[in-house]
């Protein structure tokens, strides 16, 4: 089991969650006193279903999201010889 202070847990949360995904537990301490424990979720589908039935979570409607498509935007079209950085600066200036 890993042990992490609150401050280090805040700074390294992604790293600690990866450890939990691998099946490890992480003890969170405040001034060396245990205050919380991160543990892997057994049967996550049942946990999600329980939260939905309690009204604490809303089920997503529709197909699962594809994160790659969220940021798949077409490249901007610039005239030949135009500067992309200048176009970004100009666009930002227009939105202010």
- What pTM did the predictor assign? 0.55
* CATH 3.90.1300.10 is right for the domain spanning 2-53: no
Torsion of CA 81, 85, 88, 89, to 10 degrees: -110
Q: Provide the residue ranges of all domains of the chain, joining segments of one domain with +.
A: 2-53
Residue with tokens 């202010």: 96
pLDDT tens for each residue of the chain, 96 residues long = 999 999 999 999 999 999 999 999 999 999 999 999 999 999 988 998 899 899 999 877 888 777 777 677 777 678 888 888 888 888 888 765
CA angle 71, 48, 18 (to 5 degrees): 60
């Amino acid at each position: 089991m890993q042990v992490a202070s609150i401050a280090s847990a805040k700074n390294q949360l992604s790293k600690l969650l990866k450890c939990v995904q691998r099946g490890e537990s992480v003890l969170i301490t405040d001034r060396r006193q245990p205050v919380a424990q991160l543990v892997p979720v057994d049967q996550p589908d049942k946990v999600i279903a329980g939260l939905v039935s309690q009204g604490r979570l809303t089920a997503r409607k529709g197909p699962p999201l594809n994160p790659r498509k969220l940021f798949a935007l077409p490249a901007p079209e610039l005239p030949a010889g135009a500067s992309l950085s200048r176009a970004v600066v100009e666009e930002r200036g227009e939105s202010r």
